[in-house]
Amino acid sequence: MTEMTESDVHAALKTAGAILSGHFVLTSGRHSDTYVQCARILEDPALVTRLAREMASRVGDREIDLVAAPAVGGIIMGFAVAQALGVKFIFSERVEGSMRFRRSFEVPAQARVLVVEDVVTTGGSVREVIDLVEGAGGSVAGVVSIIDRGGEKAFDAGLIPLLELEVESWETDSCGLCAAGEAIDSPGSRRLLG
């Protein structure tokens, strides 16, 4: 199994358009030179498989019985990691604000569960999945993600990311790109895709 380094992952995500460079206004209103659109990975099933194999290999020799992921972001990667590990997969979803396993998905008692997410910032959704797993009598054997956006996490289980990506951002007043007269890019803009 070929191992992907952090720079391999970064390059693959840039090629996929999941990490964009330019001049962006984030949802916070702050400006940044980097924009993360992780869903773009899903356009390339071969890349999903490659990343999932890498995530599975990072788990090492920990025994895993089940993969669980929060909808929507974690579903496809979670499925692919479960496929790579040869174990079952379930996903949680939000019902009236709280995370649940619906659709008759269950965590068997004593199950050792790997939690998969695409991008983790504070990890609020991951925390909720961990609580669900533990509440059902299972245990969390690890948490893996494609990207860790840095900062404090809402959960104690150690996170294993393929890529640590702390994106800098600035208030409009102190944005060097604005000062340089750079036009604001829209992440949907086609010219960013190359």
Q: How far is the CB of 23 from Zn ion (least distance, A)?
A: 6
Choose which of 31, 50, 53, 153 interacts with Zn ion (CB under 5 A). Answer: 31
Is there a contact between 109 and 137 (Cβ–Cβ < 8 Å)? yes
Q: How far is the CB of 189 from Zn ion (least distance, A)?
A: 15
SS3 call for 170: strand
Q: How far is the CB of 167 from Zn ion (least distance, A)?
A: 14
Measure the CA angle with vertex 45, ends 41 and 48; round to 5°. 55
| Nearest CB to Zn ion, comparing residues 47 and 177 | 177
Choose which of 39, 42, 47, 178 interacts with Zn ion (CB under 5 A). Answer: 178
Q: How far is the CB of 177 from Zn ion (least distance, A)?
A: 4
Choose which of 4, 84, 175, 185 interacts with Zn ion (CB under 5 A). Answer: 175
Size of the site for Zn ion (CB under 5 A): 4
Beta strand pairing status for 98-100 and 88-95? antiparallel
Is there a contact between 66 and 91 (Cβ–Cβ < 8 Å)? no
Asked if 167 interacts with Zn ion (CB under 5 A), we say: no
SS3 call for 112: strand
DSSP H or E segment with residue 80:
helix 75-85
| Nearest CB to Zn ion, comparing residues 25 and 71 | 25
Asked if 177 interacts with Zn ion (CB under 5 A), we say: yes
Q: State the burial class of residue 188 (Cβ atoms within 10 Å of its Cβ: 0-12, 13-18, 19+).
A: exposed
Q: Could you list the residues that contact Zn ion (CB under 5 A)?
A: 31, 175, 177-178
